[in-house]
Structure 1
Amino acid sequence: MLPPARSGARRPKNSPPILRWVASLLPCPRQHAHRLSVSNEMIKQGRLTKPYKGIIDCFGRTYADEGVRGFWRSNGVNVLRYFPTQAFNFAFKDYFKALFGFSKSADGYWLWFAGNVASGAAAGASSQVFVYSLDFARTRLASDARAAGKGAGERQFNGIVDVYRKTLQSDGVLGLYRGFVPSVMGIIVYRGLYFGLYDSLKPVLLTGDLKGNFFASFALGYVVTTTSSLAAYPMDTIRRRMMMTSGTNQHYNGIMDAGRKIIAAEGPKSLFKGAGANILRAIAGALVLPMYDAFQELVFGKVYSAGSG
């Protein structure tokens, strides 16, 4: 049961995760940008003979080796995870918004802003507990290139069930949650900025003629989504590199060990491999925020401004 909301923090109880799911169908090939951040782990495991030179090289080699279908190999898991992920994200956001729903007029701007950031961060971190194993499976399938030098068609996994089966056999349940700590840290940064900045900046910037303007909302959403993604990207790289060690004898001894070894061997820039693709990916994420507002306007007759007051 939701705690009573503070004055001026009214929100509709439900939100449309289907919008985010529809967005996930459009840029499916972006899933293979994950290969850029884990290419060195793929080389260690014999999945690649040499690292990708960039996003264009990654897509070109994927197409040459696997055809068009290779771009969508992990998208079944991606579509599957979006319903529970977004349902948890928005449900937890409204729950924590009621806890941290400070009023801008009564409590001051910065306390109101901190409440928005805290509620977004707590919502994202809480949802990860329930959906992390699906993200693990998606990453392993997206990076499961044909084994280098072992003949065409040889892969490590046949599908999502095979990912779970082999990981549980080799590493147990903990293997499905390898990289969970940097994931939570990254999601706190990403969701905190994603929800917090949008909810906080929207009533400040989108005023007058810009209020209710879909394209202005999209532009703000794009800036917020891109900023959030880049800020959290190093943690995302570390967690995916840790994910890739499940089923192997080479594990990182925690987030600090992983970060130190990656930087020592490949340089600080390696933490941002594939970040350029995230700028394009942000278009889909940016659409969700104004579409959510438009949905509220259609169903409820008004847009409920989170944490407004």
Structure 2
Amino acid sequence: MPASFAASKSNTSKGTRSQVIVAGAAAGLVSRFCIAPLDVLKIRLQLQYHSLSDPLSSPTPARRPLGVVQVARDILQHEGITGFWKGNVPAEGLYLSYGAVQFWAYRTTTQGLNTLSNALKRDYGRAIPGTAMSFIAGAAAGTAATTATYPLDLLRTRFAAQGPERVYPSLLSSLRSITQLEGPSGFFRGLGAGIGQIVPYMGLFFSLYEALKPVLADTSLPFGSGDAVAGVTASVLAKSAVFPLDTVRKRLQVQGPTRTKYVGGQRMPVYERGVIKTLGMIVKHEGARGLYRGLSVSLVKAAPASAVTMWTYERALGFLQSYDLLEK
């Protein structure tokens, strides 16, 4: 899923719904463009298949999984510098809509939970803990945004997985091809893994972010970057915990009639759509290490992505509030 989008309680409660949506969308756009090359590298690494029991793969260096530098060099040599931005059009649409839906859902859920908490405190003398509200709101926001934007996520993955030989000549042709060959359900391959990943991830992220932000706000960090540091720390911890499900999602997204046409797809096995079965197949044939290919790039990506996202969101929302824009 896109880089983590967290929203501070102070700003989400003061900003109007329109301000939150616009600020979230702006944060998504800026963040996506900055981290696109790292995203392509991560996807290519996750889609490398390396069977531990295949006698053709283990002894042959040419068949072993490539490292980050090798993958980057291969993209540059065979696809040019623009290869690092493959899938950027659907990805920008993904980040734009994902950020807007998530910030809106987080704000709406938080307001509803605050109302419920106040009612519980009034009637029973006990309110909902702040950490619990952050977890619930984050999970709900992540689920809503993941489901609403999943077709764009799938297209982003498929375009990023294309090598020098294109599978889809254009975005329009990909929509037409998937609809004709796979049907509407083809746009939602791996959705179960996406939701299974995003619920604990966003719950953990928002809980950690809300806990860290007040602490870092009092520290002497340059350019008011406490928000960015809180976002980076929360994202790294949460992402590491759920990364295997991200790998499963990527493997499932490139299944279907075009499976063998992607980079490394000639050796990619056919996976069952079930998340648990796919996890089991990867561990059985590639070992637990197969679930974590691309984690290092993902963590490196998390830092600038979360920092840029949170910094942009806070400033964009502050700008809109300062000039009383989108007050209704």
What TM-score, normalized to structure 1? 0.81
Whether contact under 8 Å (1:182, 1:235) holds in the other structure is yes
Alignment correspondent of 1:159 = 170
Decide which moves more: 30-39 or 206-215.
206-215
Please say if 1:288 is aligned against 2:291: no
Classify the secondary structure of the residue corresponding to 2:246.
helix
What is the CA deviation profile of residues 114-156 of structure 1, one whole-angstrom value per residue up to 9, with x for unaligned ones?
110110110110112221001100100100114xxxxxxx322
Whether contact under 8 Å (1:96, 1:122) holds in the other structure is yes
* Equivalent runs, 1:126-275 vs 2, <5 Å: 126-146=144-164, 154-203=165-214, 205-210=215-220, 214-247=224-257, 250-275=270-295
> Equivalent pairs: percent with the same residue?
23
Inter-partner Cα distance in structure 2 for 1:292 and 1:224? 16
Inter-partner Cα distance in structure 2 for 1:210 and 1:121? 31
Classify the secondary structure of the residue corresponding to 2:189.
coil
Whether contact under 8 Å (1:218, 1:286) holds in the other structure is yes
Classify the secondary structure of the residue corresponding to 2:13.
coil
Write the letter of the residue equivalent to 1:56: V
Segments of 4+ moved more than 4 angstroms = 106-110, 209-213
In structure 2, relative to structure 1, the CA distance for the partners of 1:293 and 1:109 (3 Å cut) is farther
Whether contact under 8 Å (1:21, 1:82) holds in the other structure is yes
Please say if 1:115 is aligned against 2:118: no
Write the letter of the residue equivalent to 2:130: W
Classify the secondary structure of the residue corresponding to 1:158.
coil
Whether contact under 8 Å (1:141, 1:159) holds in the other structure is no
Whether contact under 8 Å (1:100, 1:116) holds in the other structure is no
- Among 31, 37, 52, the alignment partner of 1:23 is 31
Alignment correspondent of 1:150 = none
Alignment correspondent of 1:37 = 46
Inter-partner Cα distance in structure 2 for 1:158 and 1:133? 18
Write the letter of the residue equivalent to 1:202: K
* Equivalent runs, 1:64-103 vs 2, <5 Å: 64-101=77-114, 102=117
Decide which moves more: 256-265 or 58-67.
58-67
Whether contact under 8 Å (1:9, 1:98) holds in the other structure is no
What TM-score, normalized to structure 2? 0.77
Classify the secondary structure of the residue corresponding to 1:27.
helix
In structure 2, relative to structure 1, the CA distance for the partners of 1:64 and 1:51 (3 Å cut) is farther
Whether contact under 8 Å (1:54, 1:274) holds in the other structure is no
Displacement of 1:67 in angstroms is 1.2
Decide which moves more: 252-261 or 188-197.
188-197
What is the CA deviation profile of residues 254-300 of structure 1, one whole-angstrom value per residue up to 9, with x for unaligned ones?
00110000010101111111111112211122232243333444443
Whether contact under 8 Å (1:206, 1:212) holds in the other structure is no
In structure 2, relative to structure 1, the CA distance for the partners of 1:210 and 1:133 (3 Å cut) is same
Inter-partner Cα distance in structure 2 for 1:70 and 1:228? 29
Whether contact under 8 Å (2:142, 2:199) holds in the other structure is yes
RMSD of aligned alpha carbons:
2.8
Inter-partner Cα distance in structure 1 for 2:279 and 2:13? 41
Classify the secondary structure of the residue corresponding to 1:70.
helix
Inter-partner Cα distance in structure 1 for 2:79 and 2:127? 52
Whether contact under 8 Å (1:242, 1:251) holds in the other structure is yes
Whether contact under 8 Å (2:193, 2:245) holds in the other structure is yes
Whether contact under 8 Å (1:167, 1:246) holds in the other structure is no
Q: Which runs of 5+ in 2 are unaligned?
A: 1-8, 51-61, 260-268, 323-328
